[in-house]
Amino acid sequence: MFRDDLVEEVSELSPEVAAGCTALQVSLRVRQPAVLHAAAGKLAWGELPKLSDNPQPGLDEILGRLHEQAKALDATADEKLKAVMVSERMELDARRRLAEVKGAVLEAMTKHELCRKLQACIDGMETRGISRKSTELSRTTASQELADALNAELKFLKVHHLNVVMRAESPGGKTQFKLTLQLPGGGTPTAIFSEGEQRALAIASFMAEIRLSKGRGGIVLDDPVSSLDHRRRWEVAERLVKESLIRQVIIFTHDIYFLLILEQKAKELGTQLTKNYIRKTADGHGVHSEDLPFDVLGTKDRLSRLRQMLVDVRKAAKDGEEDLQRQLTVKCYGQLRLAWERCIEEVLLNGAVQRFGEGVSTQRLKGVTVTDDDYREIDAGMSKSSKFEHDAAAAVGRLPIPDPDELSDDIERLGKWRETLNKRVDGIAKGTASRSALFAT
């Protein structure tokens, strides 16, 4: 019989199976009297009421689940297996909780990783480790080869009064060697050397080290001639340019004079010099530009820059910005005056005498010719360019500025004179022109 307690238990496990069992029990009760009537001949067997669907498959499925649960319950009696199951449950619970805060956890992990990398960078820039390593190397890897290289570098930089020697030491009964400076009169380097000499010694040490290295990696120097005297700048420039023949040399400097020296030495040794300009702008510090300061440009590049400035002057005039047009025009004429000066030095005098130059290139004088027409061109161009740089007298008042077309004519006047000079110098050098013919006309 499908009793009440059994009905309740099956209903909890599967309401559908319980309903099937109840329906079958009802249909059996209805069929029982009909079977008795059929046996007594009172009812045809074909007229018996049909039974409801058999709930046996559903009951088998419930029985299977109960067997599995029984096995699981039996397994919990094993303490080791129980511990594994408890651990698994805790892990699943932890995963559920982690899923709720997954975004915050990933963000925290990212921040911790960034902090770890930043700390590694800070530790890597700690100078005490470098000092300790330097001391260790000076005591364990010093060699006569290094001493010779350092002496050669000191000689090249004209620090003749210094000499490096090997000196033996025996700490703990173990013989070691270290490099020692022989100083005139004794004393420590910091007490005797000037700041420039200390800088020269540092450069010599660095160059000696890379001279002995087997690699050809690039080197970077930041303002290497700071505190150096005029003469030693030339030695440093020549040494760095020579090094650029075998490796890339990157130099940061704010010293335009040193840049001009590097330019001359690079030209002498036939190596490539690439100049870039890093400056402060409204966008911040360290803004890179391939447009170099006007001061370091040659005549050709100065003319090109002046033509670019003329574009801004024309725009200001077109927009009716009178004050801006005046400001740009005055600045342009000031730069034009500097371009005239550079053209005299660079083209008219054929580079025979250069500002900050190492000397006078007398061989270049054979291409130099100055005519009365040259003087008149220079006087006219310089006079007009200089007129707008000076403070006008009160009686004269504010000078009217030339319009953009007139400014353009003044710029091109220098450009045409430069072309004329170049042709003349080339003609004299090649023998296709003569000075006598120039003066005869």
- Please report the pLDDT score of residue 183 as a whole number: 64
pLDDT in tens, 395-418: 444 678 899 999 999 999 999 999
176: helix, coil or strand?
Answer: strand
Q: Are residues 241 and 174 in the same domain?
A: yes
Work out the widest C-alpha separation in the chain, in whole angstroms. 161
Contact call for residues 267 and 237 (beta carbons, < 8 A) = no
Write down the pLDDT at residue 254: 85
Q: Which two tokens stand for residue 316?
A: 């200001």
pLDDT < 70 stretches in the chain = 1-4, 75-77, 130-131, 133-143, 160-163, 165-192, 290, 355-359, 389-398, 433-441
| pLDDT on residue 143 | 67
What is the token pair recorded at 200? 């020269």
Tell me, yes or no, whether 108 lies in a domain. yes
What confidence score (pLDDT) does residue 179 get? Answer: 59
Residue 428 makes CB contacts below 8 A (sequence gap 6+) with: 366, 367, 369, 434, 435
Which of 289, 317, 338 represents a domain boundary (last residue)? 289
Which of 94, 125, 156 is the C-terminal boundary of a domain? 125
Measured CA to CA, the distance from residue 344 to residue 370 in angstroms comes to 10
pLDDT at residue number 135: 62
| Three-class DSSP category at 290 | coil
What pLDDT is attached to residue 395? 42
Task: Name the residue range of residue 37's domain.
Answer: 4-75
The pLDDT of residue 398 is 64
323 belongs to a structural domain: yes
CA dihedral sign, ordered 179, 185, 190, 196: negative
CATH number at residue 318: 1.20.120
Q: Do residues 428 and 367 touch, judged by C-beta distance below 8 A? A: yes
Provide the number of structural domains found in the chain: 4
Q: How far is CA 170 from CA 95, 136, 142, 147, 179, in A?
A: 64, 14, 14, 20, 14
| 263, part of any domain | yes
Q: Do residues 380 and 325 share a domain?
A: yes
CA 330 to chain CA centroid, Å, is 38
Whether residue 273 is found in the same domain as residue 348: no
pLDDT in tens, 116-152: 999 988 887 777 776 676 666 655 555 677 778 878 8
Q: Could you tell me if residue 162 is inside a domain?
A: yes
What six digits make up the tokens of 44?
Answer: 């045809």
Whether residues 93 and 108 fall in one domain = yes
d(CA 178, CA 150): 13
321 and 399 share one domain: yes
**Is residue 431 located within the same domain as residue 300?**
yes
- The residue among 272, 289, 306 that closes a domain is 289
CATH number for the domain harbouring residue 284: 3.40.50.300
**In terms of domains, do 71 and 112 share one?**
no
Q: Quick check: is 390 in a domain?
A: yes
Do the domain assignments include residue 284? yes
